[in-house]
Amino acid sequence: MFFDDNGRLIPDPDHSDDEERFVLLGQSSELRLLLVCHCYRTKDEEIRIISARKANKFEQKQYKGFLR
């Protein structure tokens, strides 16, 4: 995933009844702030990326709030 000590892993129970999903908000190795939705498969040995995108302004503000 990210090598960001300030990244946040947030449970996302509202978007699936079948699997436990998570949202990860953090910086990429290119210092881009990204939001990645994912779940774990095969006993946490495999990660399924559901979506990934650049964080919007609201999410960027949330991330900066984590740093304080």
Cα–Cα nearest to 61, from 39, 37, 35, 41:
35
What radius of gyration, in Å, describes the C-alpha atoms of the chain?
12
**Model confidence pLDDT, tens digit, residues 4-34:** 888 999 999 887 788 899 999 999 989 999 9
pLDDT value of residue 18: 83
pLDDT value of residue 43: 74
Check: CB of residue 28 under 8 Å from CB of residue 22: no
pLDDT value of residue 25: 95
62 Cβ neighbours under 8 A, 6+ residues apart: 25
Beta strands 8-11; 33-41: pairing state: unpaired
